[in-house]
Amino acid sequence: MTDMHHVYMQQALDLAAQGQFSVGTNPMVGCVIVRDGDIVGRGWHERPGEPHAEVHALREAGAAAAGATVYVTLEPCSHFGRTPPCADALIKAQVARVVIAMQDPNPLVAGAGISRLLEAGIAVEVGVLAAPAESLNRGFISRMRRRRPWLRVKLAATLDGRTALANGVSQWITGPAARRDVHRWRAQSGAILSTARTVLADNAKLTARHEMAEQQPLRVIIDSRQQLTPAHPFFLETAPVLLVYAGTREDADDLHQWPDHVERCWLPALNGRVDLNALLEELAVRGINNVWTECGPELAGALLAVGLVDELVIYMAPKLFGSSGRSLLQLPAFEQIEQVPELIIKDLRLVGEDIRVTAIPQVVIGETQS
């Protein structure tokens, strides 16, 4: 039966992944209901405020749910949010068993849904395909457990590790397929993090131009020097913007009239710049699970130095810019090989003519932002 548990749970995970572009602040969840060896109900969570995966599956199963086994990728909720508790719906349907991939890290649930099912006499098994379930919702888990989103830093470089020519010209290093891939990553993210310097240098829009994008990510722009004004073309795009400044509102220049889709936020300063830990905590409070970062070598290096980078996504183009080209990351000068940060390569693949490397940093380089 364990093998079939894995088969049905994998189907539930595949269903859950269909919500990757639309669930917003919620986790991705899939559900499969099985009775007498046949799948009688399927469902996944599609959008915030809409029915959860279990409810969709129960509706499809109808009366066949009674006495059935339910496979769900995340512990059924036990509290009233924008929808009623799924644990109660399962109890009402008189299911016999619930197989759960992982316990919900949300403190509002965190085992309460499992307890409610057990108290109702429903058999419960937890931990089937837990690792892929956690990987699927690593951003949501990060926000619940670490109080900060999962942060990816995107970098694009030539094979000799250069991001621009000496004169600053960088468009385009990578090919069309890699750029389309970037838009897919953007569309799956709750926020895109960058700096005013990058917006000004690249005339960047930082929107998700992908056919599956149902809503635009929050564009989070660090602008400690208040370089951007409402007249910049960046603000013609109506995708939401959060301008982040270092210090207090008393330091602000309030001479400008900002569009409605722009919000400004003042966060503590560290060495004269925005405290990056405070920034990620602020994004977590706003319900952001995943942050996609596109920036220059200075911010990328600073995030890596203080241990806030969870993943590096590096596109390597089959080009050579030479020794005068600009470097990939701004990091401290290392004097010993033991100081050099190590990475674990998680994925390596061709995207068009470019190589995409996904890597996990293993160490914190320093204690302060550079």
**Residue 22 is labelled as binding a ligand:** no
**Residue 118 is labelled as binding a ligand:** no
| AA letter at 355 | I
User: 14 in the Ramachandran plot: left (φ > 0), alpha (ψ -120 to 50) or beta?
Assistant: alpha
**Residue 52 is labelled as binding a ligand:** yes
For residue 15, give the DSSP letter.
H
**Residue 331 is labelled as binding a ligand:** no
**237 catalytic, yes or no?**
no
Residues pairing with 71 in the sheet: 32, 99
**Residue 115 is labelled as binding a ligand:** no
**Residue 186 is labelled as binding a ligand:** yes
Kindly give, in sequence order, each residue whose CB lies less than 8 Å from that of residue 274, ignoring residues fewer than 6 positions away.
222, 224, 244, 245, 246, 267, 268
What the block records as the tokens of 234 is 């960046």
Question: Which residue among 54, 75, 282, 311 is the active-site one?
Answer: 54
**Residue 172 is labelled as binding a ligand:** yes
Residues 138 and 75: beta-carbon distance below 8 Å: no
Name the strand (E) or helix (H) holding 290.
strand 290-294
207-222: burial string, b at 16+ Cβ within 10 Å, e else: bbebeebeebbbbbbb
**Residue 304 is labelled as binding a ligand:** no
Residues 12 and 31: beta-carbon distance below 8 Å: yes
**Residue 53 is labelled as binding a ligand:** no
**Residue 299 is labelled as binding a ligand:** yes
Kindly give, in sequence order, each residue whose CB lies less than 8 Å from that of residue 8, ignoring residues fewer than 6 positions away.
32, 34, 39, 69, 71, 99
**Residue 295 is labelled as binding a ligand:** no
**Residue 358 is labelled as binding a ligand:** no
Q: Which residues are annotated as a binding site for substrate?
A: 170, 186, 206, 209, 294
Residues annotated within a binding site? 52, 77, 86, 156, 170, 172, 186, 198, 202, 206, 209, 224, 294, 296-302
Q: Which residues participate in the annotated binding site for Zn(2+)?
A: 52, 77, 86
Q: Which residues are catalytic?
A: 54
Q: Which residues belong to the annotated binding site for NADP(+)?
A: 156, 172, 198, 202, 224, 296-302
